[in-house]
Structure 1
Amino acid sequence: MSKRKAPKKQQQPPVSDQALKELQNTKISGNLEETVTCIDGLLGMNADFLKRRFHVFGQYPAVMFYYSSLTNSTMINTEILKPLMYPPPSLEGQSIEDDRLKSILINDSLYHSEGQMVSSIASLVEGILRGETVIVVDKLDEAFLVRTRNLDKRAIDQPATEQVIRGPREGFIEMLETNISLLRYRLPTTDFRIETMEIGRRSKSKVAICYMDGITNPDLLKEVNKRLSNIDIDAVLDSGYLEQYIEDNHLSPFPQVQYTERPDKVVANLLEGRVAILVDGSPLALVVPTVFSQFYQTVEDYTERFVLMSAIRMARLVALVFSLVFPALYVAVISFNPELIPTEFAVAVAGGRAGVPFPAIIEVLVIEISMEVLREATIRLPQQVGGALSIVGVLVVGQAAVAAGFSSPITVVIIALTTIGSFATPAYNAALALRLLRFPLIIMAGIFGLYGIMIGLILIMNHLLSLKSFGVPYMSPYVPGNFQGMKDLLIRGPLWWMSERPSFLQPLEKNRLGPEAETGYDMLKTLHKQTENVLDPMNVQKSKGASANGESTSDHNDPSRGNTD
C-alpha cells in the first residue's frame, strides 16, 4: 500500500467519487492495520457500518467489513465467520503456512459460491457500498469480497397499470435480479443474453440490457449501448431517467420508448427483435425501438381469439380518436356549422345552451381543465378517498354546473365521452400525449372551425411521420407500407397470418415458424390433416349399424373377448 497517510476519522469528508478515484491504484500491502485505517476512514462515519475483528483458524488476525442495512447477518455468521474461525476437518491438527493460507481459505473454508479475491482498495469500498462483505486477513495482499446483499422486497403481484382478464398475473418489482429471473424462466434458451453496466456517478445504478442473440440486429444493440454509455449524471432513480436521454426527439409529446411492467410483454418484444432495458430499483422495463401501433395494443389481444380481439381493438381505436378530436369537433360544429346537426337535435342543443353565458370554446376549455384537475387530484389523493372524490366530482359538480347555467348538458356529455375514451387507451404516456394535444385542437376549432381541425390533424400527422425511434419510422408498418406488418395494425390477424417478425426491426431471423413450415397456412393445414374426430357420434352410429347388419367388426376375432356363444 502507498505511504499516503490516512486522514483522521473525524476530519474525513463524506464518501465521494473523488475519494475512490484517489484510491483507484492503491493496493493491499498485507499490513492489516493500514488497510483497516484506510477503509474505516472512508466509511466509518456511518451508523450501519460494522467492523468485526476475529482470528482466522485462531491464528491469523482478520477484520470483516459490511453494512448491516444491506446484508444478511445470518449468512455472514454461518457461511463466512464460522468456517473462517475454525479450520477444515481435513486440516485439523496441521500447521498452516502463510503461503498456503490464501488457497485454503478460498478453496476449503469459505462456504459461499459467490466469493472472489480483490487487491484494490477502491474495489473493496465499492463492494461494501453495494452490500457485499469484505474480509481482510493479515499478511495477505488480497482481500475476500463475498456477495451477501439482502434487501427487503415486495412480493411479485399483478401489474397495477396493465391488468388483463386472460394472461399472466406477474409483474416486475424493484429488484433487478428478480426481474431478470422472471424473464429467464420464460426464455430458457442460450440465445437470451443479458449485458450489464453501471450508470450514475453517485447512485451507480445497475442497468441490464436484454436481447435475443440471433434475432436482434447487432447495429441496434450497438446503438443502445452507445446511447446508454454516453449518459453521465449523478443518479438514475428510475428507468424514466434513461428514457429521457435515449429518445430521438426530446420535444415531441409522443413517447418514442415503450415502458411496461409485464414480463410476458417484454419477452414478446424480445422475440420480435427488440431490446429491453431494466434498471435496478425500477419496476418498469424500457423496450426499444417503438412504433405508434404498440400503444393501442395489449397482451390480451394475443391470448384471446382474433375475431373477438379485432373488434375490441377497433373499439379502442375509436376511443383513441374520440379522446383527440371529439371536443374540437363539437366546438367547430356549434360555433361555425350548426346546420350540420339534425333539426330535432339542434333544437335540444340550443335549449340546453340557452342560459349559458359563455361561447362554446370557453365552456369546453373550462370543463376540460376542470376534468384534468379532478383527474390529477384523484391520482394524488390517498386510495381511501380518491374513489369518493371522483364520484363526487363527476356527479355533484357536473350536475351543479348544469343547474347553475355555467355549462350545458351536451357539453358535459361530450367531455365525459372524451375522458372515457382517453381511459380506454392502454398506454398511459400515449393517452397523456393525446390529452395534451386536445387543447390546441380546441383552440384552432374555435378560431377556424372545421378547417382548424383539419390543419391541426395534418400537423399532428406530419409530426408523427417525421418521428423515428432508433432509426425506425414511428408510423411503421403503415408508412413505409409493409403488407406483413399491416396484418397486426388495425385488426389482430390470426397467429398463423403473422409468420414473420416485423421487417422494420431488420431481425437476423425473419421467420417465426419452424424450418418445415414455409408459411402459417402450411402449419395450419398440417394440423388439420392430423386432426381426428375421435368422438364423432356418426362414427359410433356407423359402427353399431354395421354390427346390426351382420357385418364383421374389427374385434370379431379378438381372443381377449372370449367365446360369447
Structure 2
Amino acid sequence: MFRFLVQRNRSKGRTQQGEASAQQVIDSGRRIEPSVQSNIAYIQQLLGSPSDLILREFTIGPLKHPCALVAIDGLFDRKVLNEEVLRVMLSGEWQQHKELPEDGDQLLQMLQQEVLSVTDILKATTMDELMLEVMSGNAALFVSGSHQALTLSSQGWKSRAIQEPVTEQLIRGPRDGFTEDLRSNTAAIRRRLKDPNLRFDTVKIGRRAKKDIVICYIEGIVNPELVKEAKRRVDTIDLDDTEDSGMIEQWIMDSFMSPFPQLQSTERPDRTSASLVQGGVAILVDGTPFGLTLPLTITALVQSPEDYYHHWIIATLMRVLRMIAAFIATFLPALYIALVEFHQGMIPSKLAFSIAGSREGVPFPGVIEAVLMEVTLEVLREAGVRLPKPIGQTIGIVGGLVIGEAAVSAGIVSPIMVIVVSITAIASFALPSYTFAISLRILRFGIMMLAAVFGLFGIVLAYIMINIHLVNLKSFGVPFLTPFAPYLKKDWKDLVIRAPVTMLTRRPQMLQTDDKVRMNTRGDSTQ
C-alpha cells in the first residue's frame, strides 16, 4: 500500500511538472528581439525546424536592411505573399520615391502604412502573439532593429466546397450547409441576416490548439443574460483541443447525466439564422460543419426548418406525425412485450390467435425475442453508417431483409416481432434530430426491461420517470418542457399546431427576449 502511494505521488508530480512545462511554453512572454536571425532561430527551435516552415530572408533599401518572412506551408496563400508583399518590397520603385528611415521601428511603421497592400496588418510585440498568428495561417514580417513584427493576413488553405447538409435533408428549402471553414459559415449567416446588430464574438479555446469559436447573437433581440451565461460556460473550457462542436456541447450542457440533447446540433445556416432571429444564441467552431444553437426545448427536437417553408396545415400534419413517430420509436417494443407476456386479454381475439399462431415454435419469450431483434437492428444500423456509402446502403437493406427472413424461417423469432421492430426503426428515422433519435433508442431498451418485469405498469412507471426527469431538465436556464411546463399559452401557436405565419407576430415568450415583437401586422410597434 505504501509503495502504491509513493508511485501515485511520483506520477502526480510528473503530471504537474509536465503541465507546468507545457504552460510555460504556451504562456511564455518572450518579446521580439531586434535581431532577425535571433527571432528566426527561436522559431526554428520552438517548432523543431519542421519541413513545412517557410523562411524567406531578404534586404531592402540602400542600407540593405535585413528582413524576413515566416509562414507555414499549406496554411497561407502564396499569391498574396508573392504579389502583395515580396514583389512590392523588393521592387525599387517605392524606395526611389521614399527616404527609408534607419530606425527599425520607424521602417516597420512605414511599411505598414505606406508600402504593403495586404488587407489586414497587425503588430505583434511577443513571440507567443506572433506564433499564434503564424499557426493560424498568417505570415510574419521581421525587420532588423525593431522590437515589433507585422502579421500579414494571408490565410489560404484549401477547404471543402459548400454542399447540401447530410444529416438534415429537406424537400423544400435552401440546399447550402456549413463547412469546416469558420469564415464561410459566418458569411453564410451574414448573407441571410443583414442586420447590423448581428454580433460575432470570437473566443480562442484549447491550451494547444487555440481554436477559434464564434458566439453569434443579435443584440437588441437576445436576452443579455443568455449571452453572458453562454460566454461564461465557454470560458470554462479547459482542453488541449476541441475537435468538434460535440465536445463543447458536452462541456457546457446543464446535465451530463441526461440522455437527451440540451443543445441543437445543426449543419444548416437557415436553421441557425432562424434561431438567432427568435432570440437564441449560436456557437460555431472552426474545423467542423456542425454548429450549436441554444437554448433547446423538447418541441424543437421534433420540428424541422421545412415546417416554415410549407403551408401551415401541411406543417402541422408533419409535426403530428413526428410526435406519433417519437412515441412509437420509444414504446412500441415494450408494448408488444407487455401485451404478449402479461396482458393477453387486452389484445382482440382474432389478433391474439394470429400472434399465438405466429409464435408457435419460437423458443424464446417475448422479451428475449424483442431484445435480440433490436440489438441486431442496431448493429446493422451502425454497420451501415461505418461502411462506405454504397456498401452501407446495401448492408442496411439487404442485411435486414435476409436476416429477418432467415430468423423467421429458422423459428428464432416470430413474424409479428419482425413487423414491430421494422415499424419502430422506420419511426425513429422519421425524427429530424439524429441525436434525439439516439436518445429514444437508449430509453427503448430500459423501457423494454421494465415491461418484461412489470408489464404495462412498468411502461407507465417508465413514462412517469421520464417526465420527472424532463421537468427538472433545463437548457441554459430554460425548462426543457417549455411551453408544456411551465405552461406558456402564447407559445402554443408554434408547438403541435404551426399557426399561419401572419399569426406568429411575437417571439417565444420562454426566451425572454428584449425585442418581443417579431412582425407588426397592425402598423403599431407597441403591440
Normalising by the residue count of structure 1, what TM-score does the alignment of the two structures yield?
0.87
Q: How many Å apart are 1:43 and its aligned residue?
A: 2.5
Aligned counterpart, 1:36: 40
1:361 aligns with 2:391: no
1:72 aligns with 2:77: yes
One-letter identity of the residue aligned with 2:76: T
Aligned counterpart, 2:254: 248
Aligned counterpart, 2:132: 126
One-letter identity of the residue aligned with 1:444: L
Q: How many Å apart are 1:35 and its aligned residue?
A: 2.2
Q: How many Å apart are 1:32 and its aligned residue?
A: 2.4
| Residue deviations 1:233-266 (CA, integer Å, cap 9, x gap) | 1111110110001000100001111110100000
Single out whichever of 57-66 and 415-424 deviates more from structure 2: 57-66
Aligned counterpart, 1:387: 393
Aligned counterpart, 1:532: none
Aligned counterpart, 2:223: 217
| C-alpha distance in 2 between matches for 1:111 and 1:242 | 38
Aligned counterpart, 1:514: 520
Q: How many Å apart are 1:144 and its aligned residue?
A: 1.3
| C-alpha distance in 2 between matches for 1:342 and 1:395 | 29
| C-alpha distance in 2 between matches for 1:387 and 1:334 | 33
| C-alpha distance in 1 between matches for 2:45 and 2:446 | 59
Contact 1:32/1:62, CA 8 A, preserved across alignment: yes
Aligned counterpart, 1:182: 188
Aligned counterpart, 2:329: 323
| C-alpha distance in 2 between matches for 1:97 and 1:309 | 70
Q: How many Å apart are 1:17 and its aligned residue?
A: 4.7
Alignment of 1:474-553 (within 5 A): 474-514=480-520, 516-517=522-523
Indicate the SS of the match to 1:496.
Answer: helix
Contact 1:57/1:86, CA 8 A, preserved across alignment: no
Single out whichever of 43-52 and 201-210 deviates more from structure 2: 43-52
Indicate the SS of the match to 1:96.
Answer: coil
| C-alpha distance in 2 between matches for 1:93 and 1:257 | 59
Indicate the SS of the match to 1:98.
Answer: coil
Indicate the SS of the match to 1:157.
Answer: coil
Aligned counterpart, 2:417: 411
| C-alpha distance in 2 between matches for 1:265 and 1:240 | 18
Q: How many Å apart are 1:36 and its aligned residue?
A: 2.4
Q: How many Å apart are 1:274 and its aligned residue?
A: 0.6
| C-alpha distance in 1 between matches for 2:454 and 2:125 | 73
Pick the structure with greater CA Rg.
1
Q: How many Å apart are 1:483 and its aligned residue?
A: 1.3
One-letter identity of the residue aligned with 2:487: G
Q: How many Å apart are 1:136 and its aligned residue?
A: 0.7
Single out whichever of 209-218 and 336-345 deviates more from structure 2: 336-345
Which of 425, 439, 448 lines up with 2:431 in the alignment?
A: 425
Alignment of 1:203-352 (within 5 A): 203-352=209-358
Q: How many Å apart are 1:518 and its aligned residue?
A: 5.1
| C-alpha distance in 1 between matches for 2:515 and 2:454 | 51
One-letter identity of the residue aligned with 1:325: F
| C-alpha distance in 2 between matches for 1:93 and 1:333 | 93
1:194 aligns with 2:200: yes
Alignment of 1:446-457 (within 5 A): 446-457=452-463
1:113 aligns with 2:119: yes
Q: How many Å apart are 1:93 and its aligned residue?
A: 5.7
One-letter identity of the residue aligned with 1:76: L
Percent identity, please: 38
Q: How many Å apart are 1:16 and its aligned residue?
A: 5.3
Q: How many Å apart are 1:119 and its aligned residue?
A: 2.0
Single out whichever of 65-74 and 174-183 deviates more from structure 2: 65-74
| C-alpha distance in 2 between matches for 1:355 and 1:121 | 76
Indicate the SS of the match to 1:196.
Answer: strand
| Residue deviations 1:53-72 (CA, integer Å, cap 9, x gap) | 11123531111111112111
Contact 1:115/1:144, CA 8 A, preserved across alignment: yes
1:433–1:132 Cα change, 3 Å: same
Aligned counterpart, 1:82: 87
| C-alpha distance in 2 between matches for 1:307 and 1:288 | 27
Aligned counterpart, 1:47: 51
| C-alpha distance in 2 between matches for 1:330 and 1:491 | 30
| C-alpha distance in 1 between matches for 2:74 and 2:54 | 10
| Residue deviations 1:351-372 (CA, integer Å, cap 9, x gap) | 1011101111111111111111
Indicate the SS of the match to 2:503.
Answer: coil
Indicate the SS of the match to 1:346.
Answer: helix
Q: How many Å apart are 1:484 and its aligned residue?
A: 1.2
- In structure 2, stretches of 5+ residues that fail to align are 1-20
Contact 2:180/2:289, CA 8 A, preserved across alignment: yes
Which of 455, 458, 470 lines up with 1:464 in the alignment?
A: 470
| C-alpha distance in 2 between matches for 1:221 and 1:46 | 41
Q: How many Å apart are 1:440 and its aligned residue?
A: 1.2
1:77–1:519 Cα change, 3 Å: closer
Aligned counterpart, 1:61: 66
| C-alpha distance in 1 between matches for 2:48 and 2:468 | 59
Q: How many Å apart are 1:481 and its aligned residue?
A: 0.8
Q: How many Å apart are 1:441 and its aligned residue?
A: 0.9
Superposed CA RMSD in Å reads 1.7
| C-alpha distance in 1 between matches for 2:338 and 2:97 | 96
Single out whichever of 192-201 and 94-103 deviates more from structure 2: 94-103
| Residue deviations 1:435-456 (CA, integer Å, cap 9, x gap) | 1111111111111111111011
Single out whichever of 431-440 and 69-78 deviates more from structure 2: 69-78
Contact 2:26/2:208, CA 8 A, preserved across alignment: no
Contact 2:505/2:520, CA 8 A, preserved across alignment: no
| Residue deviations 1:77-134 (CA, integer Å, cap 9, x gap) | 1111111112444x51654222452332112210201112222222122221111111
| C-alpha distance in 2 between matches for 1:43 and 1:357 | 65
Indicate the SS of the match to 2:57.
Answer: strand
Indicate the SS of the match to 2:54.
Answer: strand
Which of 159, 181, 193 lines up with 1:153 in the alignment?
A: 159
- In structure 1, stretches of 5+ residues that fail to align are 1-14, 523-565
Contact 1:239/1:282, CA 8 A, preserved across alignment: yes
| Residue deviations 1:17-70 (CA, integer Å, cap 9, x gap) | 522423x1x323422222222223223521100111111235311111111121
Q: How many Å apart are 1:75 and its aligned residue?
A: 1.3
Count of equivalent residues = 504
Normalising by the residue count of structure 2, what TM-score does the alignment of the two structures yield?
0.93
Contact 2:502/2:521, CA 8 A, preserved across alignment: no
1:304–1:519 Cα change, 3 Å: farther
| C-alpha distance in 2 between matches for 1:211 and 1:494 | 26
Aligned counterpart, 1:97: 101
One-letter identity of the residue aligned with 1:73: R
| C-alpha distance in 1 between matches for 2:331 and 2:477 | 29
| Residue deviations 1:152-202 (CA, integer Å, cap 9, x gap) | 111101100101111000100000000000001111111101101101001
One-letter identity of the residue aligned with 1:53: E
